[in-house]
Every structure is written in C-alpha cells, then in structure tokens.
Amino acid sequence: MRMKIEVLGDERTVVAFSLAGIRGKVVASREDVLRIVKESKDVCVFLVADEYYPYDYDRDLPILIRIPRRR
C-alpha cells in the first residue's frame, strides 16, 4: 500500500507541487483545510501552505505538514 500525499494551498502552491507529481486542492481558508482533511479517507499526509495551516489541529492522522512561506 502506498502512502497518499496531497497539497492544500493557493493556486500557485498547488501548481508548483503538481510539477513534482503531487496532487492537491486549492483552498481559501483554514476551515476549508479542516473540512477536506475530515472528509478524506485515503490521504495519509497533507502538505499545507503556511497561511492555511490550522495550528489548533490535534489529531494523529492524517498528518499535516506546514509548508513555510517563501520570503
């Protein structure tokens, strides 16, 4: 079984990760991120753009990894 990874962020972030073969969804808020994570049953790891990362997320799975903002 392969671990599925998905990126959540703005359009630019999703397009950039798609070039590396990582699928994703464009989100507009932290609430969008939490909804997608809750509804997802087959993704184990989400890469989340910094501005949408829900810092109060407290579940073990799926794993959320914050993508730092580029300066």
For residue 22, what is the domain's CATH number?
A: 3.40.50.10580
pLDDT at res. 70: 74
Mean pLDDT of 34-53: 95
Higher pLDDT: 41 or 25? It is: 25
Given a cut of 80, whether residue 1 has pLDDT beyond it is no
Given a cut of 90, whether residue 31 has pLDDT beyond it is yes
Closest by Cα among 33, 26, 25 to 54: 33
pLDDT at res. 71: 67
Residue-number span of the structural domain to which 44 is assigned: 5-67
Angle at 42 between CA 57 and CA 66, to 5 degrees: 35
In one-letter notation, the amino acid at residue 66 is: R
- In the chain, the number of structural domains is 1
pLDDT at res. 39: 94
